[in-house]
Amino acid sequence: MTPRLRLLCAIGLAPLAGCGGLSPEARCFAEATAEYRGPWREARRIEADLVRGHALHRVEVIRLAPVDCHEGGQRNTCLVERREWELRPVAIDEGLHRARLATLEARMAALRPAAMAAAAGCGYGDRAEARPPPE
């Protein structure tokens, strides 16, 4: 194997080796709290919708955009389709959102002890106790 090929292989395999990724503690914590994070994210999204008074839905929009082109040997401006994503407000049922939020909070309360116990083995429990509270 040539030195250049060896270097290219090393560069290509570096991300697979975990270079620049999460630390072992962070990876352990992420795995320990994986089941808890799903309901937590959904609860934060619902809270944001309630504060805003509406939800935001992603919608694909096709727009025409001018680009320089050459037609028949002459320089022109042509229109091409460009696909973009847009966030559009959508009305929400506040009662339904509040009920869903309450269900998620109950589920998070049930999942929290197991997640905290699993995360304590990652070395975060000791550091969390020693840290002063935020001001």
Please list, in sequence order, all residues whose beta carbon lies within 8 angstroms of the beta carbon of residue 32, skipping any fewer than 6 positions away: 115, 118, 119, 121, 122
Mind giving me the DSSP string for 45-100?
HHHHHHHHTEEEEEEEEEEEEEEEEEETTEEEEEEEEEEEEEEEEEE--HHHHHHH
* Digit-coded pLDDT (tens) for 49-104: 999 999 999 999 999 999 999 878 889 999 999 999 999 999 999 999 999 999 99
Q: Which strand (E) or helix (H) includes residue 8?
A: helix 3-13
The mean pLDDT of 103-118, rounded to a whole number, is 93
* Res 82: pLDDT: 95
Of the pLDDT bands very low, low, confident and very high (cuts 50, 70, 90), residue 20 is low
Rounded to an integer, what distance in angstroms lies between the CA atom of residue 39 and that of residue 47?
12
Q: Which residue has the higher pLDDT, 9 or 24?
A: 24
